[in-house]
Structure 1
C-alpha cells in the first residue's frame, strides 16, 4: 500500500506542525550525516523553529569551523569567480600596457632594420642586427635569382617556339606565293583569250558587211 502524498503547505494545527518539524529535522540531520560520511564532505546545518529555538548540526567538531571555512572561501574565491570592476580595469590597463610595450619594441626593431637610431645599440646588438640583415639579404638574393631563372626559362621556351614557327613559314610562304602567282597568270591568260575572241568576232562581222 502506497503512502499518502502530503500536500506541501503550512500546517495549520500547531501540535501537528511541531511533531512534523521534529521528525523532519531529525531526518534532515540524518541525511546530512550520511552525506558527510559517504562523500567526506564538511556540512553545517542551522535550523530555527517557529518558536525561535536553534538546532544545528556540523560534521566537524563545531559549526563555527565550517562557517570560518566558508568565510575564507568567500574571501579567496568569490573574487576570482566574480572579479570586481576595479580588477577588470586593472587587467585591462595591464593588457593595454603590454600591447603598447610590444608595439614600441616592434617599432624600434623596424627603425633599426631601416638603419635608424643605431647609436642607441651596443656592439653586440649591432652585430646581431648585421647578422639578421645578412640572412635577409641572402634570402632576397636567392628569391631574386630564382625569379631570374624562371624568366630566362620562359624566354627560352618562347625562343624555341618562334624558331619552330619560322621554320614552318619557310616552307609554307613559298608555296603560297607560287600558288598566288600561278592564279594571277591564269587570270591574265584567260582575260587575253577573251579579248582576242571578241576581236575576232568584230573582224568577222566587219568583213561580212563589206561583202
Structure 2
C-alpha cells in the first residue's frame, strides 16, 4: 500500500508541525550526508526552525564558507560585498593581535618563559623594570599628596 498524497500547506497544529519539521529535517540532513559520501559532492545545508534554531550540514572535505563562495562565483549572485570581506579580515587580524597580547601578558606574569630566547627575556625584564619605576613614582606622588592634605588639615 502506497502513501497518500498530502496537500502542501502550513500545518496548523503546532505539535504536528513540530513533529513533521523534525522528521523532514532529519531526512534532508540524512540525504545530504548520503549524496556527499556516495557521489563525493560538496554539500551544504542550512535549516532554521520557526523558533530560529540553526541546523546545518557540510561535507567533511570542505566548509560552508567555501561552498558559499563557490555558489557566489558560479551563480553570479553576491552574498556579501567587499566591505564584509574586509570586516572578516579585520576580525581575524584582531583575533591574532589578541592572542599575541595574551601570550605577552602571560610572559609578564612569569608564565611560559621556557620557550623564550635570552633577548626576549631581557626585553621583558626591561618592561617590568619600567613598570616598577612608574609604579613607584606614582606611589610616592600619592603619598606626598596625602601628606600635604593631612598637613593642610592641621
TM-score (norm 2): 0.44
Bigger Cα Rg:
1
TM-score (norm 1): 0.33
